[in-house]
Amino acid sequence: MTTLDIRLRELRDGGRKALVPYFLGGLDDEWLECVKAAAFAGADAIEIGVPFSDPIMDGKVIQEASLRALGRGTTLTSVLEGLHTLDIDVPLIVMTYFNIFHHHGLERSAIELHEAGVLGTIVPDLSLEEIAPWRTVSNEHDVASILMTALSTPPERAMQLAAETQGFAYAAARMAVTGVASDEGRGDLVVEKLRQASTVPIYVGIGITTPEQAAAACAFADGAIVGSALVQRLLDGEGPKGVEQFLGEMRSAINAVGR
């Protein structure tokens, strides 16, 4: 098992539902302070997006944030250099597209991720059939590969993904790009498919917008991922204080599940 596997299973087995916020690395001068605020507010793992010019799974909010970060000269190297300065006891997960690692070099990418304290990656455009080279080199440096499962994923395929994912299984609650939503989607159907194949923790994402939606997801899953709703607040200039308030509300709602 990777370190991320161990830590997230211990979290789940201890009865705690996970809150996993997403930030876009290099968005502004305060992005690292926002990550620290998330840890203070009770995040259990933190996703850090590395901006890419053609983010195929991301909606308009994260696309806007990516363009803003790229305009500031953000790169994989600059994001990892920033993460290296953090002193927080929360697992860090990098989310980006495979071209970033391919261009940077797989071995070099894995080494630098590990040195920056990153415990896992999510690469949405890297299929199960193509992941072996990346997974082999990243595992050599204790960087887990987290796989996504969608509503449209056939049961047999979902079982394969559940068996191969590391750290947690990412259950996409809706057939859509990332973005805010008025309901929590049908993540329960994805979770049901994954539960049949593995005991890995399962976190629901894509469209989790409000504390109530996060709590609803955690009623059947092991955690909730919040991305666009948080990034929008940062685009609006709310900064670390806004992060702490919003995620504090998310944490309180999730903690109330099962009481």
Residues tagged active-site: 47, 58
- Summarised one tens digit per residue, pLDDT across range 222-238 is 999 999 899 999 999 99
Tokens of 45: 């793992």
Instruction: Please provide the average confidence, as pLDDT, over all residues in the chain.
Output: 91
Q: Tell the residue number behind the tokens 């894995």, with chain if given.
A: 110
Task: Render the burial of 37-59: b for 16+ CB within 10 Å, e for the rest.
Answer: bbbebbbbbbbbbbbbeebebbb
Residue 35: domain span: 3-255
Q: How far apart are CA 62 and CA 60, in angstroms?
A: 6
pLDDT for residue 56: 67
Contacts from 97-100 at CB under 8 Å and sequence distance 24+? 97/52, 97/54, 97/55, 97/56, 97/123, 97/124, 97/125, 98/123, 98/125, 98/126, 98/134, 99/52, 100/50, 100/52, 100/76
Find the range with the poorest average confidence among 1-15, 52-66, 176-190, 196-210: 176-190
- Report the 10 Å Cβ neighbour count for 187: 27
The single-letter DSSP state of residue 130 is G
pLDDT confidence tier of residue 206, bands split at 50, 70 and 90: confident
SS3 4: helix
Q: Is 205 within 8 Å of 185 (Cβ atoms)?
A: no
- Summarised one tens digit per residue, pLDDT across range 17-46 is 999 999 999 999 999 999 999 999 999 999
Counted domains in the chain: 1
Backbone angles phi, psi at 157, to 5 degrees: -65, -40
pLDDT for residue 258: 56
Q: Tell the residue number behind the tokens 């919003």, with chain if given.
A: 246
- Summarised one tens digit per residue, pLDDT across range 104-130 is 999 999 999 999 999 999 999 999 999
DSSP H or E stretch at residue 15: none
Q: Which residue has the higher pLDDT, 180 or 168?
A: 168
CATH of the domain at 243: 3.20.20.70
* Average pLDDT for 138-144: 98
pLDDT at 153 over 70: yes
Q: Is 158 within 8 Å of 190 (Cβ atoms)?
A: yes
| Longest CA span, the chain | 48
- Whole-model pTM? 0.93
Find the range with the poorest average confidence among 27-31, 55-59, 145-149: 55-59
pLDDT for residue 165: 96
pLDDT for residue 179: 41
Q: How far apart are CA 134 and CA 123, in angstroms?
A: 10
- The alpha carbon of residue 254 and the mean position of all alpha carbons in its chain are separated, in whole angstroms, by 17
pLDDT at 170 over 50: yes
